[in-house]
Each structure stands twice: as structure tokens, then as C-alpha cells.
Homo-oligomer: A and B are copies of this chain.
Amino acid sequence: MKVLIIGGVAAGTKVAAKLKREDRSLDVTILTKDNDISYAGCGLPYYVGNVIREKEQLIVNTPEKFEKLTGVNVLTEMEVIKVNPKEKAVGVLNLQSNERYDYGYDKLVIASGASPIKPPVEGLDLKGVFFMRTPEDAIRLRKSIEKNEIKRAVVVGAGFIGLEVAENMAKQGVKVSVIDMAEHVLPGFDEEMSEYIENHLAENGIMTATGVKMEGIVGTDRVEKVKTSRRAMKADAVVLSIGIRANTSFLQDSGVELMPNKTIKVNEYLQTNIEDVYAIGDCACVVNKITKSPQWSPMGSSANIEGRLTAKNILGKNKSYEGVLGTAVCKLPNLNTGRTGLTEVAAKETGYNPISVISVVDDKAHYYPGAGSFIVKMIADKDTKKLLGLQVLGSGDVDKMIDIAVTAISLNASIDDLENLDFAYAPPFSTAIHPFAHTLNILQNKMNKEFDTITPLEFKEGKAKDYKIIDASISPTLKAAPYIDLTKVEGVLPEYDIDEKLLLICAKGKRAYMLQNRLKFYGYNNTKVLEGGLTFNEIDEEEE
């Protein structure tokens, strides 16, 4: 059997190597228009920041080494320009010789990846304009930084890669601003979480401007200014990271069905609509595991899973792929961010009846050096109690929290199923009440109406406007708000009517919860706790 694979980065090399391991008699050929294969795309920003020192570390495999190791044929600088399913052949252009060939196949795997979007504006060819997709991109950018050519840079695009590049340039001493057309940085977080990240970045020297469109790059020989929908920004360099587009233009007239965003439509066996043609990796559109609606997952991790599975399916194992949770984790300056599953907004749009809570919990024993806080947003369905999503910010191991949620959501767990789990605890690693369990307990309290709150978003939207703010901190902290010492409440307070609307605020939310609990006992029925407290919310005391 002859298997042709278009593309040789993560998905392409994975499916090829696994196929040959499953059956070495297969004739497996990778066609790639590049002259390298299998590079560490996710590592590029860290090469820019000199965290990864040698450029050789970015190359996972050379074509020669890969061929010897696996028995796969790798044909480089071969661009596929046409797929002809009727003849079971692809048309290929040799980029060296400019000759055209046809290659026949029994099975075809399209793993052609995606390319950075180039916006239709002036100035893209100026010196100092960079993309961040291939090792060459990263090498060029770092060289320019090290030659001291870049004092001030604008990163266009505040997704994971854009922010990682911004962090790494800042680490190298460059003054970095980030702009994005979207309303918020980092996709996949609810609004209030994104805003926290934006504030944090600003405090750490990286200004982000959202809702801002880049309209052009200006300069005589090299970049001098970036024109945006808001104002012009002086810069010596621009890194364009506004997104990627699937490399599927060669499929025009092939009959292979595409999605509106030009990714390839596949079924749960990663088959396209055309028999014997599969699509995997950044060029394919899989589904969301929870909603079963289409979801693009151009991630190295997805590419590997899809490649392994497709090798098995080509050999008749019929293994289905249930899809992704949109899991992502990203290191920012002094803040790690992670997310999986549905955001609260997406849960609502999908037809769930979501309930969420934002907790601020210790990430390891508070007395252990390096302990910090996790800010966790946990989202569940009110009706079925099914866990739907998790978003975590913190200086510690947010990936641990995310991976627990990935496992739980994938196994269709409800909040009740997740109660009382025997998680790992020792002071250097976690807390006696695990931060995941702690957040789960708080969400349960909220679902059981034992914890009545105003969420940060509701607070921002003015839902607490007719509430009197009460400082419930361990010692008086808010300048303009009256203070109540929880430990001294032993009955109805003469200062407050039991029907009075009181918004209880403390550092993280815990002490306010305890105060609410005690006030309830004495008949107060209109108190609310501000979730996330002063750690998460900005309290404008003048507003009271």
C-alpha cells in the first residue's frame, strides 16, 4: 500500500513514523515544500528570549535522520499543487527544478499545516517586520535583538504565541507593546479573566491595547511607526502574530470539502469527504469534545494525537477521535495561564445553564517557600452538575489544575463525582485541601445557596450598585467602606438593618464568606460576597 503524506511537521511526521512501525511493508512518503521537517514550533518564542540557547535545539529531526530512523521517504522542496482523487494522484512542483510530477496514492493524508496571515497593509516588506512560525523567523528576530536594532517593538496579535513572543522580547530588554483587534487578549478566557491578565501584563511592563486594528507599517528602509486604528506607535520592529490560515488553497477543485475558515472538514475518523483521503493537524477542523460542534485545534499536541490515530485507522483499526477541549497553557511574565473546556459564555451559547465561581486559593502550603495563589474560574452546568470548564491564573503550576479538569471533563464527571478525591498532598506540592477540591467546594456552596455572591463580571456591570460595600478584611483595608470584624459579630448589628443590601469584600473571598455565614445566622438576608475579593477586583472606592 502506498501512503502519501502532504506536510512534514508534527502531524505529518507522526502519522508517517507510526505507519511504518505498524507495518514496515507500507510505502510511506512525505511531500513537503520546505527543506526541513519536524521543528519545535512551540519553542520559537523561547529561542527569541534566549531561554532556548541554540538554534539546533529547535530542530527535532532532519529529513535524513528521520528517513533512517523510520523508513519513511521524505521528499523536500516538493510543493503539492493539486489533488486529484479520481485518479488517486497528487500533482507536485519540484521547487528546485521547477519540474512537475504526479504521485499516485492508495491513501492520502493531508497534513499541510497553516501559515501566518499577512494583513493587506503597506510596509510588510520593511526591515524589522517579523513573523513567528518557522525557526528562521525566530532566528532572524533574535539576531536583530542581539544586534541592538530593536529598542521598541509592537507585537500585533495577543494570542498565545503573540504574548509569549512579547514576554521573551521584554526579557531581552525590548520595550514591547501588544495590540489586537479582538476585545481581549488570549482567546478562550472569559472577559473578567482576560482583563486580569491585561492588567497584570501592564504592571509587568507589557502594554496591551485591544480593539485596535493595525492599519499599516511606516518607514523608509526599516520600520519606524505602526499605524493603528487608534494612533501611530513608534517602533523599531513589528512582530505579526495575528493568526494563521490553513494551507488548503491547493485543494481547490479537488472536491475535498472545506469549512468556512478554509480548514478541511473531517469526520470522527479524521477522514475527509473523499474516500481514502485523511486530514490532520493544523489544516484540519476537528470537533469540541463537549459540544460536538466544529473546533479548530492548531496545536502540536492535537497534531500528535491525530497522527497516531490516523496511522491506526489507515490500517483498519477504526478508532474514533472524540475531539478537543480547547486546552491551552501559556507562560507570561510572573503569571501562568491555563484553560480548558467551555468558557461561561460558550457554555451559555451551547445551551447549558452554567454556574461559575472565581476562587483565590493557595497553590501549595502557605508556609512553604514560593507558595502563591491560584485564581480559578470553575464552570459547571446547574442542571446536570456536569463540569464544563476551568480557567486558572497563577505563578505556580496551573497546568496541574488544568490537567485534572481535562481528565474530569473528558470522563464526563459531575461536581458530585469529583468530591472527596484523594489528591496528592505534601507542603512542597499542594495544600491539605487541594486547590481543585477547594474551588469545587466553593462552587458547591454556591450551588447550594450557602454562598451568595456577586461575580466580578456582575460587579463590573453594576449589579452591586445599590449595595453598601462592607470591608470584611482581617484588618481594615478599604478607606471609604465601613469595617466589620467578623470575630466580633455576636448578634444583629445596630448599624445595619437586617434587610440592608451589603456587599462583603475581603482579600480573597474567604473571610467575607465567613462573615456572610454569620450575618445570615442573625437574620441578614441580603448580603453578597464579592467573588475573588480585592485580589481579583479593582474597587473604586469613590463609587460608593
Contact = CB atoms under 8 A, between A and B. Distances in A.
Given A25-B521, A321-B420, A329-B426, A43 B367 contact: yes
Interface stretch (A27-35, A51-59, A106-114, A171-179): A51-59
Contacts of A51: 368-369
B433 A69 contact: no
A335 interface: no
B422 A406 contact: yes
Interface in A393-415: 397-400, 402-404, 406-408, 410-411, 413
A340 interface: yes
Interface in A375-427: 397-400, 402-404, 406-408, 410-411, 413, 417-427
Interface string A51-82: 11000011000000000110100000000000
A327 B432 contact: no
Nearest to A323: B422
Interface in A3-28: 10, 21-22, 24-25
A194 to B, nearest CB: 18
B429 A329 contact: yes
B423 A406 contact: yes
Interface in A310-347: 319, 321-331, 336, 338, 340
The count of identical subunits is 2
Interface centre among A305, A328, A398, A441 (most CB of B within 10 A): A305
A300 interface: yes
A129 interface: no
A53 to B, nearest CB: 9
B40 A367 contact: yes
Contact of A425 (B301, B369, B411, B514): B301
A93 interface: no
A375 to B, nearest CB: 16
B407 A418 contact: yes
Given A368-B51, A411-B413, A324 B404 contact: no
A10 B432 contact: yes
A303 B407 contact: no
A273 interface: no
A517 interface: yes
Given A160-B426, A321-B420, A399-B400, A368 B46 contact: yes
Contacts of A340: 422, 424
Nearest to A474: B69
Interface residues of A, number: 89
B365 A432 contact: no
Contacts of A488: 68
B327 A423 contact: yes
B422 A302 contact: yes
B427 A42 contact: yes
A227 interface: no
Contacts of A71: 518
A185 to B, nearest CB: 16
A432 B42 contact: yes
Contacts of A241: none
A420 B417 CA distance: 22
Interface in A420-456: 420-430, 432-434, 436-437, 441, 450
A126 interface: no
A52 to B, nearest CB: 5
A432 B300 contact: yes
Contacts of A417: 410-411
A387 B419 CA distance: 19
Given A368-B46, A514-B21, A421 B425 contact: no
Contacts of A151: none
Interface in A121-138: none
A299 interface: yes
A538 to B, nearest CB: 28
A325 B422 contact: yes
A152 interface: no
A304 interface: yes
A487 interface: yes
Contact of A432 (B301, B328, B429): B301
A404 B402 CA distance: 10
Given A42-B426, A402-B423, 7 more contacts: A52-B367, A329-B429, A398-B424, A403-B423, A406-B424, A407-B407, A410-B421
12 contacts: A42-B426, A46-B428, A68-B488, A69-B486, A305-B422, A321-B420, A329-B425, A331-B429, A336-B429, A404-B407, A407-B421, A411-B411
The list of the 10 closest CB pairs from A to B, nearest first, reads A68-B487, A57-B367, A329-B424, A24-B521, A301-B425, A400-B400, A300-B432, A399-B429, A407-B407, A399-B424
